[in-house]
Structure 1
Amino acid sequence: MTQAPDTAARRLVETLVMNGVDRVFCVPGESYLAVLDALADVRDRIQVVTCRHEAGAANMAEAYGKLTGRPGVCMVTRGPGATHASIGVHTAHQDSTPMILFVGQIALTDRGRGAFQEVDYREVFGGLAKWATEIESPERTVEVVERAFATALQGRMGPVVVALPEDLLHAQGGPAPVKPVVPARAGLDPAFVDQVRERLGRAERPLLVLGGSGWTTEAAAAIGDWAEKIGLPVALSFRRKDILSNDRPNYAGDLGLGCNPKLTARAKAADLILAIGARLGENPTQGYTLLDRARTAETLVHIHPGAEELGRVWTPSLSATADNSLAAHALSVLDPGRAWHEEAKAAHADYQAFSTPVDVTGAVNMSECMAHLAQALPAEAVVTNGAGNFAAWLHRFYRHRACRTQLAPTSGAMGYGYPAAVAAKSVHPDREVVCIAGDGDFMMTAQEMATAAQHGLGVVVVVVDNGTYGTIRMHQETHYPGAPRVIATDLRNPDFVKYAEAFGAFAVRCETTADFPAALDAARTAAREQARPALVHLITSAEDIAPGRTISGLRSK
């Protein structure tokens, strides 16, 4: 069936083109065939990346939004397609990532009948997304999609879900789009900037904390140069280690899981915390123990693009609603009249000591492997991960040196890393992309290796295989000690080398620290020169359950 040129489906795709969308991550479905047909006419402008599972597609769209600052677009079918994709929406919400999920929907005329795969998407996604809606009038298609872009990008960025009733997609689509959406961005009041300068001038132990999304490379460099010039120690929020180069002489480390005790002590002792973009939620504040509400009323200057985040947990001394990058540029010209170079030097020395490789019991030392990874990869390489104890080694011992080089879920979502790497390689085919994945983590979205192979994307994945769900095993050993009580955490894994080779990927097994550099180099070479995915199967010991922790040590406590 040939569509008329002005159907709602075509208006939707025209709006995507108008707003600079260059790729859509999807699992095709009959409920939005009309949109797929419209995409066929713009394949020279929008690449359709066909995925093998809706969770993979949604994670790819989230990673695209995190990497580019533009909404990642995902399309899935109704019912199970949408619920599979909900993990990506949750991550986008937790991570403040711009994303739009388009969901095929039953015909509007069948709503409320319990039709095949019928779901009320406003109800299901209402608490996960910034806005969940359904197109109910085809003439308003462009209006709704434009609002989706504005909502995803303005204030605290986040995901939007738009349901597409099947029958309306074939109807007249109303007016065509006229111009792309330009999101409104708030700047800092000059009077507020003066107050910050005055507070800095009185501070003896200040700490700059950067986090959140929407950072431009230029703004990150500006605030980084300013902080370095005046010797202001800077910490980065959980899984935001790429905002500034970790090699800067005033970099104090990241406020994440397994945080450096000396950094937590520094934050607790700070008489001024200038936080830009960071929500200061559970993980950055070490389970809400890092800060004290009485002290923050005197010491916390909090800047965030979402007004609802200011005063949500911590009473600030000063607060302002502003775009992270605009705020950074405004503050980067301040002269506080003093400097803290000795504080900065000490903070960076503490970070360097904490990120120096440690001893382990097994044949593979993950701290040395991750330190080697940092030395081997170029500064602009993108490194991704999902969730699990394996990620603690990456975050602690890998040093990011460029902005927009880390894709990791603050939501703690397993299975995120590999789809994120596929998306990153799709966006930047000229950059190296390496995923560090746990064995349990990788298997949740390992089927997306087929997507990488189909699209010729040379993604490297290092599968850290210790045969267990490490984080849960660690908590079992801690809270319910005794080997017989371990339950539901042991994993029986496939031969990952054979698994990868079945997709036409390069794969190599590695069982010692000494063999890792050669294995990594072989995988990188295959990915780069042959444009095909590559896998390093890294066998590690479950005994080395986390940096500085062993299973036997946990049992002895």
Structure 2
Amino acid sequence: MTTAPRTAAQRLVDVLVANDVSHVFCVPGESYLAVLDALGDVADRIQVITCRHEAGAANMAEAYGKLTGKPGICMVTRGPGATHASIGVHTAHQDSTPMILFVGQIAVSDRGRGAFQEVDYREVFGGLAKWATELESGERTTEVLERAFATALQGRMGPVVVALPEDVLVADGGPAPIRRVAPARAALDPAVAAEIERRLAAAERPLLVLGGSGWTDAATTAIGDWAERLGLPVALSFRRKDLISNDRPNYVGDLGLGPNPKLLQRVREADLILTIGARLGENPTQGYTLLDRDRTATTLIHIHPGPEEVGRVWAPLLGATADNSLAAIALSKLEPGRTWSDQAAAGHADFLAFNSRVEVTGDVNMSEVIAHIDAATPEDVVFTNGAGNYAAWLHRFVRHRARRTQLAPTSGAMGYGYPAAVAAKAIQPWREVICIAGDGEYLMTGQELATAVQYGIATLTVIVDNGTYGTIRMHQERDYPNRVVATDLKNPDFVRYAEAFGAFGVRCERTGDFPAAFEAARAATRAGQPAIVHLITSAEDIAPGRTLTQLRGG
């Protein structure tokens, strides 16, 4: 009896299985029904999580990539489905996260007719993704998909978009995959390592800056132990605060939004800045003002897996292209013959002082709330957030002590936090996952609470409700005092909102009441129920150490 050849849709799923994909996040569509049918045959290997909006699905896939280091897989339908999902592709690109977005597509025979929901995905996603392509031959399915995995993982990691014409999906799928894709990784040139050792030996005020993606636990441990032994001060880039433990005695803070002024001064005074993985883009460099091109030419050593990033903005003293982890392990073997323990101790003391309680005007002190969450939860708790001023409290007052505990978009994407929490809890259900969300940010993707309830994904969300788009309001009050336009929000009762979905909800209006509310929500999650804490805060306390009155000049 002759066995029917496997279709392209089935081969696509074969490639996912061969590459140890555990979850697919999707919104179903008729354009890729053949793939959904093939996924039904591997339900014991791959869990398909059906989402309520393509933006939620794409953000979940991006969070999967951040948390696991493997490409997150998202599947959506053509046209509106793809454009809704584009936010996740943009975040994956800005954040250097491996991800593959599969988009159902019109039949090849209808191309160019302006068919229903027709889009040229190479054109639309060409500037957002590392590679945007269309599967034009069923027999090349494995070839194209393996290239997609390799592209997402090699060099500077990022997203790939693959369009799937519905007629190609049911055609002969060609050869089977042989093995998992093993990405090529560049090692650090030994001559560069030797030069770095020489430069370190001569440095009086060095600083190590870590960032980027693709790190292994072994590499972060090695570079962390090495820097601590030398007393080499370590700063982390924007929203990469979980690369090394913030309790290390040489950790001096993160280069994000609203950073410690003493850390910024340390950067300005450094006579050698050794950077691995960080792109040194707009946010870490405070709008490209923290560094100076003349000084970087004599002080900056920049190592990055993407050659296009070295020298992109800052002319370095020394540049190198290498995998972050391989470079870190190579550097951890250097012996510069000196230490800087006094500088490390002073920098860590500055970090601790910056993380002390902040005075506020309202009934909820977010510095105390976040400090309580930090103290009450285990080291491996995963924190997620999107964009908004509320996140400044989280980033400042949480001390990350373990790897892969921060899921946050360097792209500044609103609506990221809650889908990221759903993905994290789905992937690693044994870990506690806490989303800190602003009121405006949460309602962009908060409907994914239905997804969490449907699949028994017990997330905990603290919604920081100050009734305004806080970041925009902050800039508005600074530039146009007392002229509030388009930033006020009227919010629902988030307790009733949670209960309507079948989740747990509790309201909190005072700092002193938060520990009990938080524990009640945690108890619900331990029982398998998603939970929300509706935390009412004052818009006056717009950011740590900053009020609206101060911004208005009052």
TM class, shorter-length: over 0.9
1:330 maps to 330
**Structure 1 partner of 2:552:** 555
> Can you list the C-alpha shifts for 1:96-136, whole angstroms capped at 9, x where unaligned?
00000000000010000000000000000000000000011
Counterpart residue identity of residue 96, structure 1: S
Q: CA deviation at 1:216?
A: 1.0
After superposition, the CA RMSD in angstroms is 0.8
Count of paired positions: 552
Name the structure 1 match of 2:481.
481
What CA deviation, in whole Å up to 9, does each residue of 1:495-517 have, x standing for no partner? 00000011111110000111111
Matching residue of 2:357: 357
CA contact (8 A) 2:61 2:72 kept: yes
The CA deviation at 1:189 is 1.1
Q: Partners of 2:378 and 2:523 in 1: how far apart?
A: 14
SS in 1 for 2:155: coil
Contact 2:506 2:521 in 1 (8 A): yes
1:5 positional shift? 4.9
CA contact (8 A) 2:138 2:168 kept: yes
Is 2:514 aligned against 1:516? yes
- Alignment partner of 1:396 is 2:393: no
Q: Deviations along 1:224-250, whole A, 9 cap, x unmatched?
A: 111000000000000000001111111
The aligned counterpart of 1:538 is 535
State the alpha-carbon separation in 2 of the partners of residues 525 and 245 from structure 1.
27
Tell me how far apart the structure 1 counterparts of residues 57 and 131 of structure 2 sit (CA, whole Å).
20
Partners of 2:363 and 2:511 within 8 A in 1: yes
Show the counterpart of 2:289: 289
**Counterparts of 1:222 and 1:457, CA distance in 2:** 34
2: distance between equivalents of 1:5 and 1:48?
25
Amino acid at match of 1:272: L
1:148 aligns to what SS in structure 2? helix
Letter of the 1:493 counterpart: N
Q: Report the equivalent of 2:74.
A: 74
Measured in 2, the distance between the counterparts of 1:178 and 1:403 equals 32
- Within 5 Å, give how 1:298-317 maps onto structure 2: 298-317=298-317
Report the Cα distance in structure 1 between the residues aligned to 2:4 and 2:86, rounded to whole angstroms: 32
Superposition map of 1:191-206 within 5 A = 191-206=191-206
- Other-structure match for 1:115: 115
Q: In the alignment, what sits opposite 1:53?
A: 53
Q: Which runs of 5+ in 1 are unaligned?
A: none
Structure 2 residue aligned with 1:253: 253
**Matched position secondary structure for 1:280:** coil
Question: Higher mean Cα deviation, 172-181 or 85-94?
Answer: 172-181
Q: Which amino acid aligns with 1:386?
A: G
* 1:190, distance to aligned residue in structure 2 (A): 1.0
Supply the distance in 2 between the matched residues of 1:379 and 1:339 (Cα, whole angstroms): 29
Partner of 2:467: 467
Instruction: Provide the rounded CA distance (Å) in 2 between the counterparts of 1:381 and 1:293.
Output: 39
Change (3 A) 1:4 1:519: farther
Q: Secondary structure at the match of 1:117?
A: coil
Amino acid at match of 2:519: D
Partner of 2:17: 17
Partner letter of residue 142 of structure 1? T
Query: Aligned with 1:315: secondary structure?
Result: coil
Could you say what secondary structure the match of 2:502 adopts?
Answer: coil
Indicate if the aligned counterparts of 2:5 and 2:173 stay in contact, CA closer than 8 A: no
> Could you tell me which amino acid in structure 1 is paired with residue 64 of structure 2?
Y
Give distance in 2, aligned partners of 1:5 and 1:43.
21
Match runs of 1:66-465 below 5 Å: 66-465=66-465
Distance 1:327 1:379 in 2: 27
Q: 2: distance between equivalents of 1:14 and 1:76? A: 19
1: distance between equivalents of 2:350 and 2:106?
A: 57
Report SS of the residue matched to 1:175. coil
Partner of 2:492: 494
For the residue of structure 2 that corresponds to 1:44, the secondary structure is coil
Deviation at 1:217, TM superposition (A): 1.2
Alpha-carbon deviation of 1:553? Answer: 1.1
Q: Kindly state the Cα deviation for residue 82 of structure 1 after the two structures are TM-superposed.
A: 0.2
Deviation at 1:4, TM superposition (A): 4.9
Give CA deviations for 1:52-101 in whole Å, capped at 9, x if unaligned: 00000000000000000000000000000000000000000000000000
Q: Is the 8 A contact 2:9 2:38 kept in 1?
A: yes
Matches of 1:449 and 1:135 in 2, distance apart? Answer: 34
Question: What TM-score comes out, normalization by structure 1 length?
Answer: 0.98
Q: Which amino acid aligns with 2:384?
A: T
The alpha carbon displacement at 1:182 in A equals 0.3
Give the 3-state SS of the residue equivalent to 2:490 in structure 1: coil
Secondary structure at 1:75's aligned position in 2?
strand
Partners in 2 of 1:48 and 1:108 — Cα distance?
27
1:410 alignment partner, SS class: coil
How far does residue 334 in structure 1 lie from its aligned partner after superposition?
1.0
Tell me how far apart the structure 2 counterparts of residues 515 and 314 of structure 1 sit (CA, whole Å).
48
Q: Does 1:503 align with 2:501?
A: yes
Distance 1:282 1:5 in 2: 51
TM-score, structure 2 normalization: 0.99
Letter in 2 for 1:537: H
For residue 24 of structure 2, what is the amino acid of its counterpart? V
CA distance in 1, matches of 2:321, 2:474: 40
Partner Cα distance (1:155, 1:261) in 2: 33
